[in-house]
């Protein structure tokens, strides 16, 4: 700032003011007699002039070389809000196309693969017998059972020897008899037969059934038939073979009731002899809880056929033993 004349008496005073950042000078004419106070007022007026306001606004608009960290943070926040991150449309489209292709493949595979048919459950013995009425056994049933079992194991001549004539059989149970009534029918002269039997380790009447509990049940049913005859239970449950051999040797036994497996074991160990045998009764028609007969259980069936092959069938062909199906 320069003054044309010094402070004192003068007509006019010209003040030259150069604002910051502007090259052009600005002239301002003040009144004639200016004191120090009026000069300061004039300077204040110059500072409040529009040019000063422009000067104050311009530095704010002009960018500076360095920015404060707070300004940087504000700029970052503004950039985040003003420019949102665009979603990657390509990846979304790819995933959609992949899913669509996978669905098409699955549909094609489903069309190619035929639907699996549900397998029908095989009917068991219990299912068949539950719907059908029980039929009494016949001599033909036993004949076919024996021939089918030994068909691939014996020659033609041996198979012919296994065939039994009708005279080897007594009348079968028609499902109306109890055990005592059936035995009375097939052996009316039991008292005489009983007295004639005096050999040890043997029986006159042999009853074959499938289980130990059935043995006990049949022995109870013999009360009205046996008279003074001695009955012996011959099964494997809780009784050793040696003990049963001793029981057969100690006295005369008239009736033996047992399972085919134990009877075969006693015959093999010569604890039970077959020559005195006169009647063989098979518990053919009885069924267990699963409605199975003695010949329907594979293990019992095998033991029965083994028992018949020990010498009983031979006795039947010779006419010494009669077979009955109860």
For residue range 50-71, list pLDDT tens digits in order.
Answer: 444 444 444 444 444 444 544 4
- How far, rounded to the nearest angstrom, does the alpha carbon of residue 107 sit from its chain's CA centroid? 29
If asked whether residues 146 and 293 sit together in one domain, one would say yes
Pairing of strands 279-282, 322-325: parallel
User: Which residue among 14, 36, 55 closes a domain?
Assistant: 55
pLDDT at 115 over 80: no
Looking at residue 6, its pLDDT comes to 43
If asked whether residues 149 and 298 sit together in one domain, one would say yes
User: Which residue among 38, 55, 72 closes a domain?
Assistant: 55
Task: Kindly indicate the confidence band of residue 163, based on its pLDDT and cuts at 50, 70 and 90.
Answer: confident
CB atoms within 10 A of CB 126: 15
Q: What percent of the chain has a predicted confidence (pLDDT) above 90?
A: 40
Distance CA 245, CA 156 (A): 37
Looking at residue 264, its pLDDT comes to 93
Over the chain, what is the mean pLDDT?
75
Task: Kindly indicate the confidence band of residue 75, based on its pLDDT and cuts at 50, 70 and 90.
Answer: very low
In this structure, is residue 123 part of a structural domain? Answer: no
Looking at residue 1, its pLDDT comes to 44
In this structure, is residue 26 part of a structural domain? Answer: yes
- In terms of pLDDT, which residue wins out, 118 or 322? 322
pLDDT at 179 over 60: yes
If asked whether residues 163 and 268 sit together in one domain, one would say yes
What's the number of CA atoms in the CB half-sphere (13 Å) around residue 145? Answer: 19
User: Which residue among 17, 39, 55 closes a domain?
Assistant: 55
List the structure tokens of 219.
């022995």
Q: State the DSSP code for 233.
A: E
Give the H/E segment covering residue 71: helix 69-82
Closest residue by Cα to residue 256 from 236, 238, 272: 272
Domains identified in the chain, total number: 2
Task: Kindly indicate the confidence band of residue 43, based on its pLDDT and cuts at 50, 70 and 90.
Answer: low
* Long-range contacts, 188-194 (Cβ 8 Å, 24+): 190/225, 190/227, 190/229, 191/227, 193/278, 194/227, 194/228, 194/229, 194/254
Looking at residue 153, its pLDDT comes to 84
Domain that includes residue 10, residue range: 1-55
């Amino acid at each position: 700032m320069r003054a044309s004349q010094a402070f004192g008496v003068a007509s006019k005073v010209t003040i030259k003011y150069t604002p910051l950042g502007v090259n052009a000078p600005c002239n301002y004419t003040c009144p004639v007699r200016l004191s120090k106070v009026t000069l300061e007022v004039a300077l204040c007026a110059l500072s409040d002039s529009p040019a000063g306001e422009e000067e104050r606004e311009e530095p704010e608009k002009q960018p500076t070389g360095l920015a404060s960290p707070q300004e940087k943070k504000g700029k970052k926040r503004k950039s985040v809000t003003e420019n949102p991150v665009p979603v990657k449309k390509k990846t979304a489209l790819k995933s959609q196309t992949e899913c669509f292709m996978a669905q098409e493949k699955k549909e094609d595979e489903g069309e190619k693969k035929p639907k699996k048919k549900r397998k029908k459950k095989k009917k068991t013995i219990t299912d068949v017998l539950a719907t059908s009425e029980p039929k009494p056994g016949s001599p033909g049933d036993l004949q076919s059972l024996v021939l089918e079992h030994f068909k691939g194991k014996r020659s033609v001549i041996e198979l012919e020897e296994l065939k039994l004539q009708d005279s080897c059989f007594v009348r079968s149970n028609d499902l109306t008899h109890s055990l005592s009534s059936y035995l009375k029918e097939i052996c009316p002269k039991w008292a005489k037969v009983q007295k004639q039997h005096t050999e040890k380790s043997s029986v006159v009447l042999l009853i074959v059934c499938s289980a130990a509990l059935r043995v006990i049940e049949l022995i109870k049913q013999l009360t009205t038939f046996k008279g003074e005859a001695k009955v012996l239970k011959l099964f494997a449950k809780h009784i050793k073979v040696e003990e049963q051999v001793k029981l057969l040797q100690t006295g005369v036994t008239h009736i033996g009731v047992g399972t085919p497996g134990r009877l075969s074991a006693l015959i093999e160990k010569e604890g039970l002899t077959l020559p005195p045998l006169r009647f063989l009764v098979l518990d053919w028609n009885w069924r267990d809880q699963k409605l199975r007969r003695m010949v329907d259980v594979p293990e019992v069936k095998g033991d029965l056929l083994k028992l018949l092959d020990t010498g009983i069938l031979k006795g039947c062909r010779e006419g010494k033993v009669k077979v009955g199906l109860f």
